[in-house]
């Protein structure tokens, strides 16, 4: 404490801190911009969270409890690049290591460095809201000025919800109708930042290398081809936007999920997730391309449409209690998912016996990224399509392994794909055989991610169990020995799933649990006039018809 007070004397009153969490960039960074204005000293801080970085030996793949190695690597690369960007402006990134709690570490620095103004980008995730409240409460008690601009998303989710009468819009179209045009990015040009202040006795850590974190032997794991950081983000964006024809004619559903050497999308999602790229700047740059071409596609399928989907899920997730759970979630269908650890593990580890499904899950584990439609295939397979396993189980696997894993978007898409919310046409099931085949009849994608199948003739590569034994022998891949037999029969399993979904939907209707929150109370009240609660009870007491 005494040392700390000594530090405050030299730091001066006009010290500001910019706290980085997401938003790992210099461009379009309102928090950084506000911190530098009128401050003699600026402390750019990132707090390393041991729960995010500490190796978890019990995890099903290398990494920590929260993140697979691919995303940890991406984060570290992003931090290195942020540090380099700040150094170009005469500053640097101050890395603090939390003992076990991020707010404690940050608050100690706020106090010890005598910070007068704290700036950080607003974050709407429940975890972040709880974390940030502890920091802002502490700052308020010390009389520290706090500035928390919205700059992660195009729009302010709270504002959209307010405009919609206090409830989040639950369809994309109604979201669009409210949203309008997003604010312009703040692209202030400046050549230097205020110097960092005295950091007293704080140990200033360099950005650790992935190898130093003790994840064991990760050399065997394929390395994700996507490098983190703002520099890489801007380079990747400019490369994508160079092909104006491609940008203006982009239609997401027409992309090829099996393309991996040159992905069918921009692969900017991980950079948006960490804020290495500003969504507003990206949006603005796409608009510029549109202005230079005769015509362009439109939301929901267009490139800007994808950014709007991101904001849609941020908004709904912000305005929905228990968005990341089935129970207690008003917009989520209540479905009696099956519990089957063996089938779940087969799915998670890419051992379902369906090469298309397994290749996608292996790409996920190794790269931390796969095409959107590939995600659809495996999510459908796990939940309503084949295995009838809870979407929360799949959500957890994606959340840990994806380099672009984003709380709002990941949960939103799992709700969507499992037909629990937003999308309800549960008869539309992705075939684990024919869906991939129509894009990649030769199975190059499968051969790349599942080397044991690389010599399987293309006639059998999507269904190796149908190959005659002589063919399997020639391909040096015996099904049941070198590659698993299918864990379920898709024809039978998907038929059963349809039936279960139909029953679950019927039961939800009778229970009055409609998605938009207005239960069938109103219609019931109208029809029963005298408030005959008994009929209501009897209705809800016999929801499960057995046929």
Partner DNA sequence: ATGACGTTGAATAC
Partner DNA sequence: GTATTCAACGTCAT
Residues near DNA (CB under 7 A), total: 36
- State yes or no: residue 477 binds DNA (CB under 7 A): no
Rank residues 430 and 483 by Cβ distance to DNA and give the closer one: 430
Stretches 64-72, 206-214, 298-306, 466-474: which one binds DNA (CB under 7 A)? Answer: 298-306
Tell me how far apart the alpha carbons of residues 407 and 127 are, in angstroms, rounded to a whole number: 10
Q: Which residues contact 327 (CB under 8 A, 6 or more apart)?
A: 334
- Contacting DNA (CB under 7 A), which of 21, 92, 236, 252? 252
Q: How far is the CB of 428 from DNA (least distance, A)?
A: 3
State residue 63 phi and psi, 5-degree precision. Answer: 140, -170
Tell me how far apart the alpha carbons of residues 292 and 244 are, in angstroms, rounded to a whole number: 8
Residue 527 burial (CB count, 10 A)? 10
Q: How far is the CB of 326 from DNA (least distance, A)?
A: 15
| Class of residue 67 by CB neighbours under 10 A (exposed 0-12, middle 13-18, buried 19+) | buried
- State yes or no: residue 158 binds DNA (CB under 7 A): no
- State yes or no: residue 328 binds DNA (CB under 7 A): no
- State yes or no: residue 434 binds DNA (CB under 7 A): yes
Residue list, annotated binding site: 265-269, 306-313, 404-406
Tell me how far apart the alpha carbons of residues 34 and 36 are, in angstroms, rounded to a whole number: 6
Q: How far is the CB of 272 from DNA (least distance, A)?
A: 14
Contact characters 340-379, DNA, x per CB under 7 A: --------------------------------xx--x---
- State yes or no: residue 334 binds DNA (CB under 7 A): no
Q: How far is the CB of 329 from DNA (least distance, A)?
A: 13
State residue 95 phi and psi, 5-degree precision. Answer: -95, 125
Task: Please give the structure tokens belonging to residue 186.
Answer: 């703040």
Stretches 62-70, 85-93, 336-344, 431-439: which one binds DNA (CB under 7 A)? Answer: 431-439
Task: Please give the structure tokens belonging to residue 168.
Answer: 């989040």
Stretches 55-63, 97-105, 391-399, 432-440: which one binds DNA (CB under 7 A)? Answer: 432-440
Q: Hey, what's the torsion of the CAs at 212, 216, 222, 227, to 10 degrees?
A: -20
Q: Which residues contact 422 (CB under 8 A, 6 or more apart)?
A: 170, 171, 412, 415, 416
- Point out which residues pair with 117 in neighbouring strands: 16, 145
Tell me how far apart the alpha carbons of residues 256 and 436 are, in angstroms, rounded to a whole number: 9
Rank residues 434 and 535 by Cβ distance to DNA and give the closer one: 434
- Contacting DNA (CB under 7 A), which of 5, 10, 171, 528? 171
Tell me how far apart the alpha carbons of residues 417 and 429 are, in angstroms, rounded to a whole number: 10
Rank residues 44 and 305 by Cβ distance to DNA and give the closer one: 305
Residue 193 burial (CB count, 10 A)? 22
Q: How far is the CB of 435 from DNA (least distance, A)?
A: 3
126-155 binders of DNA (CB under 7 A) = none
Tell me how far apart the alpha carbons of residues 42 and 193 are, in angstroms, rounded to a whole number: 8
Q: How far is the CB of 23 from DNA (least distance, A)?
A: 23
Tell me how far apart the alpha carbons of residues 119 and 87 are, in angstroms, rounded to a whole number: 19
State residue 192 phi and psi, 5-degree precision. Answer: -150, 160
Report which of 140, 147, 122, 117 is spatially closest to residue 132, judged by C-alpha positions.
Answer: 122
Q: Classify 238 as helix, strand or coil.
A: helix
Rank residues 172 and 465 by Cβ distance to DNA and give the closer one: 172
Q: Is there a cis peptide before residue 300, judged by omega within 30 degrees of 0?
A: yes
377-416 binders of DNA (CB under 7 A) = 416
State residue 474 phi and psi, 5-degree precision. Answer: -65, -35
DSSP state of 229: S
- State yes or no: residue 173 binds DNA (CB under 7 A): yes
- Contacting DNA (CB under 7 A), which of 19, 347, 426, 462? 426
Q: How far is the CB of 515 from DNA (least distance, A)?
A: 3
- State yes or no: residue 26 binds DNA (CB under 7 A): no
> Taking a C-beta distance cutoff of 8 angstroms, is the pair 222, 370 a contact?
no
Residue list, annotated binding site for FAD: 265-269, 306-313, 404-406
480-519 binders of DNA (CB under 7 A) = 502, 505, 508-509, 514-516
- State yes or no: residue 528 binds DNA (CB under 7 A): no
Rank residues 62 and 305 by Cβ distance to DNA and give the closer one: 305
> Taking a C-beta distance cutoff of 8 angstroms, is the pair 422, 412 a contact?
yes
- State yes or no: residue 429 binds DNA (CB under 7 A): yes
- State yes or no: residue 435 binds DNA (CB under 7 A): yes
Rank residues 63 and 300 by Cβ distance to DNA and give the closer one: 300
- Contacting DNA (CB under 7 A), which of 20, 43, 155, 309? 309
Residues that bind DNA (CB under 7 A): 170-174, 252-253, 255, 300-301, 305-306, 309, 372-373, 376, 416, 423-431, 434-435, 438, 502, 505, 508-509, 514-516
């Amino acid at each position: 404490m005494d040392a700390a007070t000594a530090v405050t004397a030299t730091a001066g009153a006009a010290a500001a801190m910019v706290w980085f969490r997401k938003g790992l960039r210099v461009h379009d960074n309102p928090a950084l911009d506000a911190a530098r204005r009128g401050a003699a000293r600026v402390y750019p801080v990132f707090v390393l969270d041991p729960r995010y970085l500490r190796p978890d030996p019990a995890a099903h793949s290398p990494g920590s409890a929260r993140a697979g190695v691919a995303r940890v690597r991406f984060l570290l690369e992003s931090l290195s690049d942020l540090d380099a960007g700040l150094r170009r402006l005469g500053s640097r990134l101050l890395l603090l290591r939390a003992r076990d709690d991020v707010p404690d570490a940050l608050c100690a620095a706020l106090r010890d460095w005598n910070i007068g103004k704290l700036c950080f980008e607003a974050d709407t995730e429940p975890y972040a809201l709880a974390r940030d409240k502890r920091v802002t409460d502490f700052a308020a008690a010390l009389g520290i000025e706090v500035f928390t601009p919205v700059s992660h998303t195009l729009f302010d989710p709270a504002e959209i919800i307010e405009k919609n009468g206090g409830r989040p819009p639950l369809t994309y179209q109604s979201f669009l109708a409210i949203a309008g045009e997003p604010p312009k990015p703040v692209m202030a040009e400046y050549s230097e930042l205020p110097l960092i202040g005295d950091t007293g006795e704080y140990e200033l850590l360099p950005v650790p290398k992935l190898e130093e974190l003790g994840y064991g032997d990760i050399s065997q794991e394929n390395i994700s081809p996507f490098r983190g950081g703002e520099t890489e983000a801007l380079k990747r964006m400019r490369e994508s936007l160079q092909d104006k024809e491609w940008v203006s004619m982009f239609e997401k559903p027409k992309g090829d999920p099996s393309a991996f050497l040159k992905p069918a999308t921009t692969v900017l999602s991980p950079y948006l997730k960490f804020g290495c790229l500003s969504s507003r700047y990206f949006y603005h740059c796409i608009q510029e391309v549109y202005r230079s071409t005769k015509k362009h596609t439109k939301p929901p399928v267009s490139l800007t449409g994808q950014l709007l989907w991101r904001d849609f899920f941020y908004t709904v997730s912000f305005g929905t209690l228990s968005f990341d759970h089935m129970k207690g979630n008003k917009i989520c269908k209540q479905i009696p998912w099956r519990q089957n650890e063996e089938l779940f593990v087969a799915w998670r580890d890419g051992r379902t016996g369906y090469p298309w499904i397994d290749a996608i899950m292996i790409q996920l584990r190794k790269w931390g990224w796969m095409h959107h439609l590939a995600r659809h295939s495996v999510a459908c397979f796990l939940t309503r399509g084949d295995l009838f396993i809870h979407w929360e189980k799949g959500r957890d696997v994606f959340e840990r392994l994806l380099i672009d894993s984003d709380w709002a978007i990941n949960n939103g898409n799992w709700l969507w794909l499992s037909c629990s919310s937003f999308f309800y046409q549960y008869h539309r099931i992705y075939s684990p055989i024919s869906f991939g085949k129509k894009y990649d009849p030769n199975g190059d994608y499968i051969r790349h991610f599942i080397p044991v199948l690389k010599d399987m003739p293309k006639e059998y590569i999507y269904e190796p169990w149908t190959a005659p034994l002589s063919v399997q022998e020639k391909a040096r891949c015996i099904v049941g020995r070198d590659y698993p037999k299918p864990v379920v029969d898709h024809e039978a399993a998907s038929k059963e799933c349809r039936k279960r979904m139909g029953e679950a939907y019927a039961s939800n209707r009778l229970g009055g649990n409609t998605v938009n929150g207005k239960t069938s109370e109103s219609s019931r009240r109208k029809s029963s006039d005298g408030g005959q609660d008994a009929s209501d009870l009897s209705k809800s007491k016999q929801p499960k018809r057995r046929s």
